[in-house]
Amino acid sequence: MKTSLPVRRAVERMRAYHPPLEGRTEKLRLDFNENPIGCSPAVRRALAQLSAASIASYPEQETVRRKAARFFGVAPEELLLTNGTDEALSLVVHTFVEPGDTVLFVEPTYAMYRFYAELAGARIVAPRYDAAMCFPWNNVIEALRAGPRVFFLPNPNSPTGNLLSLRELRRILTAARRTMVVIDEAYFEFSGVTVIPWIRRHKNLIVTRTFSKTAGLAGLRLGCLFVHRELAASMRKAQSPYPVNAAALVAAEAAMRDRVFIARTLREVRRGRRELERGLDRLGIRYFPSAGNFLLVHLGAKAKQIVAALARQGTLVRDRSSDFGGEGYVRITLGTPGQMRRLLRELKEHS
Ligand SMILES: Cc1ncc(COP(=O)(O)O)c(C=O)c1O
């Protein structure tokens, strides 16, 4: 047998990332912060009308890019369409990080920052939220003084739900003179805080958005990256020519037109949040305030058992205990009030 070729050292050193991804569609999915009511009916109609020619051709994205630019209030030259936020994060690393460069993020957070940084052979600096889920300001400012190449900062953060204010984000940009700051606004529609307009003033700022959450297009993989136009040109050089598929493009157009669906999603999630918070209060379960469409709850020593029992009943939540030293934390996506009542009934049964 021939000897197999060695894989890169950075890949060998990585732990495989195994999110529970299979067999979810028929279940109550409160584990990945997706849209609890699906997607806009206009999106489904647009997909049904995709022509054979569109499916058989390599995707053309210019029209949608222009429409997206108008939708987000930027110039087309300041926006890249990406294969989900994930591709945007990977593109940032490909464009700016050499092996051995430092990448900064605050943990626990979205797993893909570490994933792409490790894949690139970067040195990782990852201060942590404290037990009260407070942002570690001193550590972050000190880390920024050393000039890491990239700082990934989701706002709000997942799974903690923390939101930094515009004033706090300004403080970070002021401290990050030699660092590309990536503000991941995956949950913007729930928080209402955005720094997209700042990309014109700050050449070291990248903002990302996704169609996976409020728009309900997680299965089609579509994201946007916003950056100063000079850098956008360099980043496009590092991107493959067809990152976004034809189905995602027609779906995005329909999703951007259907503001009623977005408003309905936000209303349902707001009502679901009230229902869940009240129910958790009644059950005496501790949770952390969240600016996203999810809550981090503390289920303690029985967390694993409870998560497994819920899964047997067809309700999926995300056990994040391993992010907190085994401390029994679980992230629950906010659903409709009816979905939240079902979850609360099941939680009561098992806790
Ligand atoms: C902070 C954050 N960023 C990005 C994503 C993923 O976005 P996308 O589906 O566009 O890759 C998630 C998904 O859970 C997230 O929590």
Question: Does 146 have pLDDT greater than 80?
Answer: yes
Q: Is the pLDDT of residue 306 over 90?
A: yes
* Close Cβ partners of 107 (under 8 Å, ≥ 6 residues apart): 114, 126, 127, 128, 129, 323
**pLDDT at res. 184:** 98
For ligand 1, residues with CB inside 6 Å are 32-33, 84-86, 110, 154, 158, 184, 186, 210, 212, 218, 223
Q: Indicate if the pLDDT at residue 324 is higher than 90.
A: no
34 CA to middle of ligand 1, Å?
A: 10
Rounded to the nearest angstrom, the distance between the alpha carbon of 186 and the centre of ligand 1 is: 6
Q: Look at residue 1 in the predicted model and tell me its pLDDT.
A: 59
Burial of 284 (0-12, 13-18, 19+ CB in 10 A): exposed
Helices (H), the chain: 9-13, 41-48, 52-56, 62-72, 84-96, 111-119, 137-145, 166-175, 188-191, 229-237, 246-257, 259-283, 303-312, 337-350
Q: What is the average pLDDT across 275-303?
A: 97
The answer on pLDDT for 326 being more than 90 is no
Domain 41-257, CATH class in plain words: alpha beta
Q: Are residues 153 and 184 in contact, defined by beta-carbon separation less than 8 angstroms?
A: yes
Is there a contact between 126 and 114 (Cβ–Cβ < 8 Å)?
Answer: yes
**pLDDT of the residue at 22:** 80
pLDDT, the chain, mean: 96
Q: If you take atom 7 of ligand 1, which residue's CA is the nearest one? A: 85
Per-residue pLDDT at 261: 98
| Rounded-to-integer distance, Cα 146 and Cα 57, Å | 47
pLDDT cut 90: percent of the chain above it = 92
Please, which pLDDT band fits residue 340 given cuts at 50, 70 and 90?
A: very high
Mean pLDDT of 104-116: 97
Q: Is the pLDDT of residue 84 over 70?
A: yes
pTM of the entire predicted model: 0.96
Phi, psi of 178 (to 5 degrees): -115, 25
How far, in Å, CA of 147 to CA of 180, rounded? Answer: 9
Query: What is the pLDDT averaged over residues 43-49?
Result: 98
Q: Which homologous superfamily is 9-37+260-350 in?
A: Aspartate Aminotransferase, domain 1 (3.90.1150.10)
* Residue found by looking up tokens 């720094």 in the block: 195
Evaluate if residue 198 carries a pLDDT over 80: yes
Q: Give yes or no for residue 3 having a pLDDT over 80.
A: no
Question: How far is the centre of ligand 1, averaged over its atoms, from the C-alpha of 86 (Å)?
Answer: 7
Can you tell me the distance from the alpha carbon of 43 to that of 200, in angstroms, rounded to the nearest whole number?
32
Domain locations along the chain: 9-37+260-350, 41-257
Q: pLDDT class for 2, splitting at 50, 70, 90?
A: low
User: Mutation test of ligand 1: which of 21, 113, 158 has the most ligand atoms closer than 8 Å to its C-beta?
Assistant: 158
For ligand 1, pick from 17, 110, 190, 293 the residue to mutate: most ligand atoms within 8 Å of CB: 110
Centre of ligand 1 from the C-alpha of residue 184, in Å: 8
Of 3-7, 147-151, 251-255, 344-348, minimum mean pLDDT range: 3-7
Choose the residue to mutate in 86, 183, 187, 193 for probing ligand 1, maximizing ligand atoms within 8 Å of C-beta. Answer: 86
Alpha carbons 63 and 60: distance in angstroms, whole number: 8
pLDDT tier at 342, thresholds 50, 70, 90: very high
Q: Rounded distance, CA 133 to CA 163, Å?
A: 11
Cα 188 to Cα 194, 271, 280, 293, 304, distances in angstroms = 7, 18, 25, 10, 30
Compute the residue count for the chain: 351
Tell which residue, 178, 223, 252, 203, has the closest CA to residue 86: 223
Residues 11-33 have pLDDT tens digits of: 999 988 776 678 898 899 999 99
**Spatial distance between the Cα atoms of 226 and 36, rounded to a whole number of angstroms:** 27
6 CA from centroid of ligand 1 (Å): 31
Between residues 131 and 342, the one the model is more confident about: 342
Q: Is the pLDDT confidence value at 221 over 70?
A: yes
pLDDT tens, position by position, 255-269: 999 999 999 999 999
* pLDDT-derived band at 317, boundaries 50, 70, 90: very high
Confidence of residue 144 (pLDDT cuts 50, 70, 90): very high
- Going from the Cα of 183 to the center of ligand 1, the distance in angstroms, rounded, reads 12
DSSP sequence for 84-113: HHHHHHHHHHHHH--TT-EEEEPBS--HHH
Segment 38-63 shows an average pLDDT of 97
